[in-house]
Chain A
């Protein structure tokens, strides 16, 4: 039984849920994820751990409504129960004392960036976080991010809040100014691709957290395979973190679009049924 104890809406399409999952809460580390299934007919989807509380026995996830499953999950309220939650899966982010670290988060990726920034700060790093959103009304977790960072730069694409432009521009300015020891980036694939391009130019070690399609999350199916440094890796067990300079991002984007038609069909059907039932 995985009961939702709290739910919040962070922005139009982004929601937060806190779930009772004591075994996972006890073991969770920054960068790890869970796989959940809403109900008997549901699919298994991966979501990264945003926060966890071993004493209370809960984990907190933040998700963006992009398709059928996340949209349906968005209708779940406190008190509702998820059929399955398994984890924590994947290798934790390698937290060490690197020195000066930049954590970059884009969109819903900020929720994941939060856990990593927090762990990096706790490990004694100087943490500068850059978080980006399309516009002001989508900005979320700003206070949380501020708490776990020494410096925080908020960007919006349209300039309606904070610095105008993409996170990559803010990143470039920082790297031009001085030397950093590590960059961690999580967000849309295209963002991670350009972050890695910039950090490669500056010769800064970069970790990215990849989000390929997954089924089991335990290394059993290979749906999550990505090419890193010319080798095939299973992101669920070998990752999800990888050396950003080695990842084949174009392949990842292509593989992520494998089911676009099916996903569209499933979402339309779901929304239609929901309307009829309402």
Chain B
């Protein structure tokens, strides 16, 4: 084998997998993982580590895998990343660790994500993990709002520093987007539940069905807890402001994925929540959320087309998901923008009117802006439309909280230590960044845990956090 060749990852075949919701990538076996690990050059100055937002000691853990010490490799990863079974599956590796690997210059980079996933799966499936010892309670309490990756990470760190931690979650299930958004075929829910169970065993207390801002307020939490961490995510969907948006069978991606993933509508009527089943689905967007919606619709039996306003290269989804979608038979129409939804006499959507774009000057994000071409309108037929054009922070928490400063689009303003404008209140993850990534949310959680610890120990809070 040349150094350029990656050890392939076993997968369910496309024909098979579009009929089920089971995980697509089956993951490395121990032999395959060791083989892939042996390709690593153990660079003295490893660029891969620079590419990882939490700087996992990649060459070191890969070396341990090559030596067959999987538990050792797991421990090495856990020094920087508490949820490797999850990041190994969902990080945009091609832009981060793997994108920086020197081997990209001569071939394919080391499959860091799949190796990370392998060790985490190996340890979990073989029950090799010891639940970390928790020190005696230091007498202080921290409340965390939201059970997504940022809240879970902060909880894991704080509980190991001796704090009593309670996580409040609005939904009836724990895990945030990891549970209600990202589908089973990409991230098995058992993986997320395992991590949550581990935290429970470490003494973290979870309270579901509590909407902070409604059921209890932050001010009330501050009376009982020494600090509060907000990890409420970016849960409010953006919708298109075009005619026909409220026609029946037009869903936000959040609604569509929540019905299917969280409420198990794919098992309707065994489960009570329905989801529309029809023939042709049009998905609007080009990110991970759009890919998840497209592949979910495919598994419900739809013929699926993704409508994206820029070109293939500009799609923000993980590369692996785009490839999987193509292999599964999802069609794409690039350089198009919806201008109207068309309905039938019953008010059900029957098509999307689109206009073609060309790429113009780069916009603020550096990506070339789509510019509509007059007179190029055409219609794509669809009896299901899913809108996946982004999300913003959910304001339910701070509808009546003037003291908490937020920016123009509702993101909570924090300083470099995740401190908000309210004393003792910290925030991170998508609630601050807008729609970002799991690993960045986790990084914020870790940073917040350190800052919370310091604040509680010293009582120091800056005069003014943010102007």
Contact = CB atoms under 8 A, between A and B. Distances in A.
B225 to A, nearest CB: 16
Interface stretch (B99-107, B252-260, B443-451): B252-260
Q: Which of A24, A86, A220, A263 has the most CB of B within 10 A?
A: A220
Given A23-B215, A87-B215, A89-B211, A220 B394 contact: yes
B368 interface: no
A269 interface: yes
A262 B245 contact: no
Nearest to A252: B246
A266 B214 contact: no
Given A41-B270, A42-B272, A84-B172, A220 B258 contact: yes
Contacts of B263: 43-44, 215
Contacts of A126: none
Interface string A212-238: 000110111111011100001000010
Nearest to A69: B272
Contacts of B274: 259, 262-263, 266
B359 interface: no
B300 to A, nearest CB: 13
A37 interface: yes
A269 B254 CA distance: 28
Interface residues of A, number: 41
A104 B145 CA distance: 39
B467 interface: no
A89 B396 CA distance: 10
Interface string A33-44: 000010001111
Contacts of A197: none
A222 B211 contact: no
B329 to A, nearest CB: 26
Nearest to B400: A91
B264 A83 contact: no
A42 B251 CA distance: 21
Contact of B211 (A218, A223, A255): A218
Interface residues of B, number: 41
Given A23-B215, A263-B274, A266-B269, A254 B347 contact: yes
Contacts of B170: 86, 216, 218
A68 interface: yes
Nearest to B268: A262
B347 A216 contact: no
Contacts of A43: 263, 271-273
A216 B171 contact: yes
Contacts of A8: none
Q: Which of A23, A86, A87 has the most CB of B within 10 A?
A: A86
A258 interface: yes
Contacts of A216: 170-171, 258
B210 interface: yes
B269 A269 contact: yes
A68 B268 CA distance: 12
Contacts, number: 113
A128 B293 CA distance: 50
Nearest to B255: A221
Main secondary structure on A side of the interface with B: mixed
Q: Which of B273, B347, B395 has the most CB of A within 10 A?
A: B273
A122 interface: no
A111 to B, nearest CB: 21
Contacts of A222: 237, 239, 251-252, 254-255
Interface in B137-172: 170-172
Interface string A260-273: 00110110010000
A86 B209 CA distance: 5
B59 interface: no
Contacts of B251: 222-223
Contacts of A221: 237, 252, 254-255, 258
B407 interface: no
A244 interface: no
Contact of B248 (A42, A84, A258, A265): A258
Nearest to B256: A221
A84 B210 CA distance: 10
A222 B255 CA distance: 7
Contacts of B394: 218-220
Interface in B220-274: 235-237, 239, 241, 245-246, 248-249, 251-252, 254-255, 258-259, 263-264, 268-274
A253 B27 CA distance: 48
A23 B208 CA distance: 12
Given A43-B271, A86-B172, A225-B239, 5 more contacts: A84-B209, A218-B211, A258-B249, A259-B276, A266-B274
30 contacts: A23-B215, A23-B216, A27-B215, A42-B272, A43-B271, A43-B273, A44-B263, A83-B172, A84-B209, A85-B209, A89-B211, A215-B259, A215-B263, A219-B236, A220-B258, A221-B237, A221-B252, A221-B255, A222-B254, A222-B255, A227-B246, A251-B347, A254-B248, A254-B346, A255-B246, A255-B347, A262-B268, A262-B274, A265-B269, A266-B268
Interface of B: 170-172, 208-211, 214-216, 235-237, 239, 241, 245-246, 248-249, 251-252, 254-255, 258-259, 263-264, 268-274, 276, 346-347, 394-396, 399
Interface of A: 23-24, 27, 37, 41-44, 68-69, 83-89, 215-216, 218-223, 225-227, 232, 237, 251, 254-255, 257-259, 262-263, 265-266, 269
**Nearest 4 CB-CB pairs, A to B?**
A262-B274, A221-B255, A43-B272, A86-B209
